[in-house]
């Protein structure tokens, strides 16, 4: 499978044509986003979020799923070079699949390269504006880059989507000039 995919990737711009469009998950995700807003506690919200991740992590086709799984396994083992390579491949193959960008951004963050993570998070959010991981990752990445005010605004926006985000502990109180 890797040889076939490598051949496809080396064959040029037509590669993206090989990846089917990511399915529209709106009908499945909308009730989950609504449930997050009324979740009574963090444990309930985590169960809802787990369902969302299963949807996010469902790649458009079998080759994309294999690449995603390999990248996530490498990332979990902190083999960041292999993980980045797999997510690079996934993005080349499926440039409209938000999770490829989100996962590569996570690899950059784990490696401390916040500047490289930011464009991937922005692209993931352009493809899926309510992506929980990308929303919180974007906020924390901005803060790590010293862009505290932007990061706080991004975190507040993320909390509007998911009020129980664990990252809420980084939320600073409003300043008087923000009220």
pTM: 0.87
| Total domains present in the chain | 2
Q: Are 146 and 175 part of one and the same domain?
A: yes
Please write the tens of the pLDDT for every residue from 83-127. Answer: 999 999 999 999 999 999 999 999 999 999 999 999 999 999 999
- The H-assigned helical ranges of 11-131 are 26-38, 42-56, 62-76, 80-93, 98-110, 114-127
Structural domain includes residue 65: yes
Mean of pLDDT over the chain = 90
Of 106, 124, 142, which residue constitutes the final position of a domain?
124
Structural domain includes residue 97: yes
Q: Are 75 and 114 part of one and the same domain?
A: yes
What is the C-alpha separation between 138 and 119, in angstroms, rounded? 9
Supply the pLDDT for residue 22. 86
CATH code of 78's domain? 1.25.40.10
Structural domain includes residue 114: yes
Q: Are 30 and 66 part of one and the same domain?
A: no
Structural domain includes residue 73: yes
Among 11-25, 29-43, 134-148, 157-171, which stretch is predicted with the lowest mean pLDDT? 11-25
Supply the pLDDT for residue 23. 84
Q: Are 79 and 49 part of one and the same domain?
A: no
Q: Are 156 and 140 part of one and the same domain?
A: yes
Q: Are 152 and 173 part of one and the same domain?
A: yes
Asked if 73 and 67 touch (Cβ cutoff 8 Å), the reply is no
What is the C-alpha separation between 14 and 18, in angstroms, rounded? 7
Q: Are 64 and 145 part of one and the same domain?
A: no
Q: Are 103 and 138 part of one and the same domain?
A: no
What is the C-alpha separation between 21 and 85, in angstroms, rounded? 22
What mean pLDDT do residues 39-47 have?
97
What is the C-alpha separation between 100 and 94, in angstroms, rounded? 8
Q: Are 49 and 72 part of one and the same domain?
A: no
Q: Are 133 and 165 part of one and the same domain?
A: yes
First-residue to last-residue Cα distance in the chain = 56
Supply the pLDDT for residue 7. 41
Of 83, 100, 124, which residue constitutes the final position of a domain?
124
Supply the pLDDT for residue 18. 87
Structural domain includes residue 16: no
15 has pLDDT over 60: no
Structural domain includes residue 14: no
What is the C-alpha separation between 142 and 148, in angstroms, rounded? 7
- For residue 2, what pLDDT band results from cuts at 50, 70 and 90? low
CA distances from 76 to 2, 68, 100 (A): 20, 12, 15
More confident residue, 3 or 55: 55
Structural domain of 91: 58-124
């Amino acid at each position: 499978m890797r040889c076939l995919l490598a051949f496809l990737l080396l064959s040029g711009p037509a590669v993206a044509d090989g990846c089917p469009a990511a399915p529209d998950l709106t009908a499945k995700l909308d009730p989950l986003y609504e449930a997050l807003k009324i979740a009574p506690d963090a444990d309930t919200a985590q169960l809802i979020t787990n369902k969302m991740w299963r949807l996010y992590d469902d790649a458009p086709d079998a080759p994309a799923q294999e690449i995603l799984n390999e990248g996530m396994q490498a990332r979990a083992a902190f083999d960041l070079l292999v993980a980045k390579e797999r997510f690079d491949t996934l993005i080349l193959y499926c440039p409209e699949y938000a999770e490829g960008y989100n996962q590569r951004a996570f690899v950059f963050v784990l490696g401390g390269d916040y500047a490289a993570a930011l464009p991937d998070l922005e692209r993931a959010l352009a493809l899926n504006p309510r992506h929980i991981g990308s929303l919180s990752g974007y906020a924390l990445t901005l803060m790590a880059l010293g862009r505290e005010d932007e990061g706080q605004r991004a975190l507040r926006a993320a909390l509007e989507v998911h009020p129980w985000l664990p990252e809420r502990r980084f939320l600073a109180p409003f300043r008087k000039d923000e009220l």
